């Protein structure tokens, strides 16, 4: 199996301000966690520590439904049988666009946030916010 996931891999990540959305709130982070190979549920919980097990399960099921990941039950192991999740070829096609979005955000996010603050009206789209509220 690959190296353990870094518990701090998403520290400082500004996903709430990004203008890009792939799947639900947690989908891009799960894709990043699976980039280097299959992972068990408990491994995914380490860097995604603020997600509840229920929401992680729901997100993984939605990603499996959309053919972004595969879920493998390892029946050859002792009970309870371990389950692993892995990106499908379709899921892997999102890695390059996600990298492009991250590069764009790293370069332009301060300008985007300044424009939002100057506009003064709240952004209704969930996940896209201001740095601070306007009076």
Instruction: Note the pLDDT of residue 132.
Output: 44
Question: Who contacts 67 (Cβ-Cβ below 8 Å, separation ≥6)?
Answer: 88, 90, 91
Q: What is the pLDDT of residues 46-60, one digit of tens each?
A: 999 889 999 999 999
48 neighbors 15 (Cβ within 8 angstroms): no
Q: Model-level pTM?
A: 0.75
Q: What is the pLDDT of residues 2-55, one digit of tens each?
A: 788 777 666 555 555 566 678 888 999 999 999 999 999 999 999 998 899 999
């Amino acid at each position: 199996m690959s190296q353990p996931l870094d518990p701090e891999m998403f520290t400082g990540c500004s996903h709430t301000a990004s203008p890009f959305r792939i799947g639900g709130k947690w989908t891009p982070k799960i894709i990043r966690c699976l980039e280097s190979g299959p992972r068990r549920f408990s491994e995914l919980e380490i860097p995604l520590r603020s997600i509840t097990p229920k929401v992680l399960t729901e997100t993984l099921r939605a990603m499996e439904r959309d053919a972004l990941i595969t879920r493998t039950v390892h029946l050859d192991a002792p009970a309870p049988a371990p389950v692993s999740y892995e990106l499908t070829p379709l899921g892997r096609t999102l890695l390059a666009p996600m990298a492009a979005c991250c590069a764009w955000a790293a370069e332009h996010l301060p300008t985007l946030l300044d424009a939002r603050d100057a506009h003064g009206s709240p952004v209704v789209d969930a996940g896209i916010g201001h740095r601070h509220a306007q009076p």
